[in-house]
């Protein structure tokens, strides 16, 4: 029986190890967070007042720095009044895990405080819409242009220096300009996503297309393929799986532009929700919203990865967890990759 190796260089993990490490990835940060939240002597720099005593400026439920609180306790101890009482607590910006967990649910069920404010799901829908249109518009131009750049050195030479130049300009810098041109609603936000994604996209796509093996093009040429077919029947299909993966990564980048895009003009979407909740000091809702963004991103990516493995059957992939789960769901009529 071979010894189980936990840290072998560039070795595949067993299924059991993969599960374990995957679980640890979630549990370790959660454990650290819980430790800081639930074990008072680890950090807890504040005192949550339960009984203000004779201190006039204290109120029940108030958070005060420990030093201040202890000074008041000492003062009243000497003066002989009712000593304030309180419990050690963390600052308001670090809610405990269970409060965020609860907030994950209540954030959806809490009515907005002001008329005109949006429910969480409405904010989310708005954000997703921004990302979706931004990414679609960027891809509609960026992908074909990238392919052309990858295929034709002349087009690359004409395009890429400019693209490279603009790529280094931070997309939010165009915020004011976009508002001036496109108004204050969703359009300038979509434009920021487009600007943030497009220029990277052209370069990434062009590079992926350029990685196509030249020998495939040569083979196609000896079979009679001319320019159009070399691009459409060789370059594009040859790089399709990699392009698909590029799109997944670029979509992730688009999400990172979301928050800055949404403060352009009238603040909107999930960013508006987060800012609003922060203003009301409901930090557990802030965390809940951030976690939800993460979950949406992760789920989208996993779904895309799953589709990707189905869409390119000529690529042998190691079995993915999602596929195993779905495979079990559809047990008996499992789709075979190769027939």
Q: Where are the alpha helices (DSSP H) in the chain?
A: 15-38, 66-79, 97-109, 120-151, 153-167, 175-182, 186-210, 214-222, 227-229, 236-262, 269-279, 283-311, 321-329
Output the smallest distance, CB 155 to other proteins, in A: 21
CB 305 within 8 Å of CB 248: yes
Among the listed residues 155, 110, 122, the one whose alpha carbon sits nearest the alpha carbon of residue 272: 122
Q: How many chain residues bind other proteins (CB under 8 A)?
A: 25
The token pair that represents 69 in the structure block: 């609180």
Decide if residue 237 touches other proteins (CB under 8 A).
Answer: yes
Decide if residue 312 touches other proteins (CB under 8 A).
Answer: yes
Choose the stretch contacting other proteins; rule: CB under 8 A; options: 13-21, 44-52, 217-225, 254-262: 217-225
Choose the stretch contacting other proteins; rule: CB under 8 A; options: 83-91, 188-196, 199-207, 212-220: 212-220
What does the alpha-carbon distance between residue 205 and residue 143 come to, in Å, rounded to a whole number? Answer: 6
By CB under 8 A, name the one of 221, 275, 300, 302 that touches other proteins.
221
Q: Which is nearer to other proteins, 185 or 315 (CB)?
A: 315
Half-sphere exposure of 266 (CA within 13 A, CB side): 11
Q: Which parts of 32-91 interact with other proteins (CB under 8 A)?
A: none
By CB under 8 A, name the one of 316, 329, 331, 335 that touches other proteins.
316
Choose the stretch contacting other proteins; rule: CB under 8 A; options: 100-108, 169-177, 216-224, 255-263: 216-224
Decide if residue 317 touches other proteins (CB under 8 A).
Answer: no
Other C-beta atoms closer than 10 Å to the C-beta of 219 total 12
By CB under 8 A, name the one of 129, 167, 210, 229 that touches other proteins.
229
The token pair that represents 195 in the structure block: 């600007």
The size of the chain, in residues, is 339
By CB under 8 A, name the one of 23, 223, 295, 303 that touches other proteins.
223
By CB under 8 A, name the one of 125, 137, 220, 259 that touches other proteins.
220
Three-state secondary-structure class, residue 83: coil
């Amino acid at each position: 029986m071979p010894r189980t190796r936990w840290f072998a260089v560039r070795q595949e993990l067993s299924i059991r190890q993969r599960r374990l490490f995957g679980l640890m990835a979630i549990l370790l940060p959660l454990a650290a967070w819980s430790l800081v939240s639930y074990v008072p002597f680890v950090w807890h720099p504040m005192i949550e007042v339960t009984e203000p005593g004779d201190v006039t400026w204290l109120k029940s439920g108030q958070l005060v720095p420990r030093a201040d609180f202890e000074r008041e306790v000492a003062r009243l101890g000497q003066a002989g009044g009712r000593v304030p009482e309180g419990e050690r607590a963390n600052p308001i910006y670090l809610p405990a895990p269970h409060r965020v967990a609860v907030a994950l649910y209540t954030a959806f069920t809490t009515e907005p405080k002001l008329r005109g404010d949006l429910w969480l799901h409405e904010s989310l829908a708005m954000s997703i819409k921004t990302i979706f249109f931004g990414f679609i518009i960027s891809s509609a131009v960026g992908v074909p242009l990238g392919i052309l750049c990858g295929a034709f050195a002349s087009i690359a030479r004409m395009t890429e220096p400019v693209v490279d130049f603009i790529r280094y300009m931070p997309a939010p810098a165009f915020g004011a300009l976009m508002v001036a041109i496109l108004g204050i609603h969703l359009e300038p936000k979509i434009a920021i996503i487009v600007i943030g994604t497009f220029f990277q996209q052209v370069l990434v796509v062009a590079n992926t297309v350029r990685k196509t093996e030249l020998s495939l093009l040569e083979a196609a040429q000896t079979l009679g393929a001319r320019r159009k077919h070399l691009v459409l029947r060789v370059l594009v299909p040859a790089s399709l799986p990699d392009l698909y993966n590029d799109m997944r990564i670029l979509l992730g980048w688009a999400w990172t532009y979301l928050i800055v895009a949404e403060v352009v003009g009238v603040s909107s979407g999930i960013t508006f929700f987060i800012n609003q909740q922060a203003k009301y000091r409901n930090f557990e809702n802030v965390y809940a919203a951030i976690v939800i963004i993460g979950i949406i991103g992760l789920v989208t990516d996993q779904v895309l990865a799953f589709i990707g493995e189905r869409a390119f059957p000529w690529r042998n992939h190691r079995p993915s967890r999602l596929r195993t789960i779905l495979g079990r769901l559809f047990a008996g009529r499992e789709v075979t990759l190769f027939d």
